[in-house]
Structure 1
Amino acid sequence: MSPFTGIALKLASVVLFVSMAALIKASTDHVPTGQAMFFRSFFTLPVIFLWLAMRHELKTGLKTQRPMGHVWRGLIGACGMGFGFSSLAYLPLPDVTAIGFAAPLLTVILAALILGERLRVYRMSAVLLGLIGVAVILSPRLSIFSGEAMNTAAQTGVILVLISAFFRALAQIHIRRLAQSESTASIVFYFSMTTTTLSLFTIPFGWVVPDISIIGMLVAAGVIGGVAQILITSAFRFADAAVIAPFDYASILFAMIIGYVFFGDVPTSQMLIGSAIVIFAGLLIIWRERALGLKRGKARPNLTPQG
């Protein structure tokens, strides 16, 4: 394993996923969630085929030893995607991003329960510190932290994000298990195929014919999401789920920028302070992994750090 490679891939995927979420949010008033899922999934497929062609792996990249594993991963991922997309219609992008940070903590816990990964004090401390930062970020935006009653839209949005966070965490654990025997291309391809198929069952609930600009945004969301999915799936090959999970926190910075520029969401002082906290939590993980890597590299050069 190479934790730093995994972290770099994770960060790159974070940037792209936030961009994709912004495109989906911009379309929420024009198309239903199921239709947005279709575009997000279907237009990922050309990215996968192009990637395989560049690697000269078209004949072998989609082979699988665990077809049912891909089906379960697709079902879990589709649930996470659907609930997450739905929440964007009720809450600002930074809020959805910040509340979604429940997923990394759940990933760390599930990694210990399901995968048997060891929970180190530094890892857990960094995740908890990051969640404290998330609470600071949310404090001025959601009245749940001020003791007032939230409106119905905010309540609905928060519930949808929390449900999405659970399924996202479960999906990350499932990816980690699939990566032991399956190629990155097959994991992303069969996920996209499953989600595309499932989204078609939502046609009776009211698909629409959007204008060309909305179609363009949805297609772009699919392409960007495909690249991001390949990056994050690859990241699990280089680092434990518990190591790379905290770096989801970096997405709040990009969500704040995009939210301000495109949706008029002005960052508050609490959001800036909270962001500083989550950045520090990420830096703590990087520092700790580097220290462990150097120490173990000298003592056992043939082994990789397990943090």
Structure 2
Amino acid sequence: MSFQLPAGPLRGIVCKICSVTLFVAMQAAIKMAGAGVAAGQITFYRSAFALFPIFLYLAWLGELRTGFVTTHVFGHVKRGMIGIASMGCGFYGLVHLPMPDAIAMGYAMPLIAVILAAVFLKEEVRLYRWSAVGLGLFGVIIISWPKLTMFSHDGFGSQAAVGTVAVLVSACLAAGAMLQVRQLVQTEKTATIVLYFSIIAALMSLLTLPFGWEALISSQFFYLALAGFFGGFGQILLTESYRHADISTVAPFEYSSILFGSLLGYAFFGDVPSLHTLAGTLIVAGSGIFIILRERQLGLERQAEKKAASPNG
């Protein structure tokens, strides 16, 4: 007798936690490849080797022939362009920062998503959420300020400073990509979304070939290929989690990555979170979870209002 999770929020939560674990493993593999590998080169290997688990997933579903079928080519291209830029910036920051710091600063993504929704989608954001966004961004400043080395002789040109800015830009772009994925899962298959993203990302990252790609030694090739496999499986599970549960339900489990990331960072790279990182992470994570719970509460209130206004309510 086989065990299978029922469809619904529980399956979405399990998929999310598994995807977080795989993405942390992917980040560790990228760091082990070394800081000398260009961000575009990392992105290519991560995207190209992600195609192997995607094709395996399609074969398992019996959908190899239909995996490319889509009615939203432009949506995939837009998601791919945003995602490739986010990955490139994030990978640059990852190889130049301690692993816990890079992960923690990425938590700015849900905070930035609130700002983008208010500016571009004209969503109403009230005092509670604006306060949480402001507090969360203050937490990001606490984490990132020591890395900026503003008053040192290196200034903002230091690798840590540029890496910090890159991670924050990555978080902004990831917020836009998340909204795009949520739209695509309404009509597109999980494997199709991930397949198009990996192909578009691999092709676009090839454009960076003239800008500093290095000849890889065998260990670097192994770690980057491994990162691609981890990233491919993680992307499948992440997209699947959005299919089975609302973003507000699965998003809080993103914060489990700081535990996994800290453990791997210490075990493999000797990275120990600083007091700035720990304090800032608590503030950012708390603000993000508050926003997520607030979004869920407002969603339930809107559903209740619609039901009350319905003639059959």
Question: Normalised by the shorter chain, which TM-score bucket?
Answer: 0.7 to 0.9
Aligned match of 2:176? 170
Gaps of 5+ in 1: 295-307
Q: 1:136 to 1:250 in 2, by over 3 A?
A: farther
1:199 aligns with 2:205: yes
Determine if contact 1:52/1:185 at 8 Å carries over to the other structure.
Answer: yes
Aligned match of 1:226? 232
Q: 1:8 to 1:134 in 2, by over 3 A?
A: farther
Determine if contact 1:142/1:150 at 8 Å carries over to the other structure.
Answer: yes
Q: 1:292 to 1:92 in 2, by over 3 A?
A: same
Q: 1:165 to 1:292 in 2, by over 3 A?
A: closer
Moved more, 266-275 or 128-137: 128-137
Aligned match of 2:264? 258
Aligned match of 1:77? 83
Aligned match of 2:255? 249
1:75-120, Cα deviation, whole Å (9 max, x unpaired):
1100001111111232211111111111121234445666788879
Aligned match of 1:101? 107
Offset, 1:154: 2.6
> For 1:35, which of 25, 41, 44 is the aligned residue?
41
Aligned match of 2:242? 236
C-alpha distance in structure 2 between counterparts of 1:273 and 1:265, whole Å: 16
Amino acid at match of 1:107: A
1:267 aligns with 2:265: no
Aligned match of 2:67? 61
Determine if contact 2:100/2:273 at 8 Å carries over to the other structure.
Answer: no
1:214 aligns with 2:223: no
C-alpha distance in structure 2 between counterparts of 1:140 and 1:256, whole Å: 18
Amino acid at match of 1:176: R
Q: 1:48 to 1:123 in 2, by over 3 A?
A: farther
Amino acid at match of 2:197: F
Q: 1:64 to 1:101 in 2, by over 3 A?
A: same
Amino acid at match of 2:33: S
Q: 1:213 to 1:255 in 2, by over 3 A?
A: same
1:40-61, Cα deviation, whole Å (9 max, x unpaired):
0011111111011111222223
Q: 1:122 to 1:182 in 2, by over 3 A?
A: farther
Gaps of 5+ in 2: 1-6, 301-313
TM-score (norm 2): 0.78
C-alpha distance in structure 2 between counterparts of 1:286 and 1:173, whole Å: 14
Determine if contact 1:62/1:185 at 8 Å carries over to the other structure.
Answer: no
Amino acid at match of 1:250: S
1:188 aligns with 2:198: no
RMSD of aligned alpha carbons: 3.7
Q: 1:293 to 1:65 in 2, by over 3 A?
A: closer
Aligned match of 1:86? 92
Moved more, 122-131 or 32-41: 122-131
Amino acid at match of 2:250: I
C-alpha distance in structure 1 between counterparts of 2:189 and 2:128, whole Å: 31
Amino acid at match of 2:186: Q
Moved more, 219-228 or 149-158: 149-158
Determine if contact 1:111/1:117 at 8 Å carries over to the other structure.
Answer: yes
Offset, 1:159: 1.3
Moved more, 164-173 or 10-19: 10-19
Offset, 1:182: 0.8
C-alpha distance in structure 2 between counterparts of 1:289 and 1:68, whole Å: 29
Offset, 1:247: 3.0
Q: Does the residue aligned with 1:204 lie in a helix, a strand or coil?
A: coil
C-alpha distance in structure 1 between counterparts of 2:246 and 2:129, whole Å: 11
C-alpha distance in structure 1 between counterparts of 2:141 and 2:275, whole Å: 13
Determine if contact 2:33/2:223 at 8 Å carries over to the other structure.
Answer: yes
Q: 1:198 to 1:41 in 2, by over 3 A?
A: same
Q: 1:49 to 1:67 in 2, by over 3 A?
A: same
Offset, 1:71: 0.8
Q: Does the residue aligned with 1:223 lie in a helix, a strand or coil?
A: helix
Moved more, 281-290 or 129-138: 281-290
C-alpha distance in structure 1 between counterparts of 2:284 and 2:11, whole Å: 20
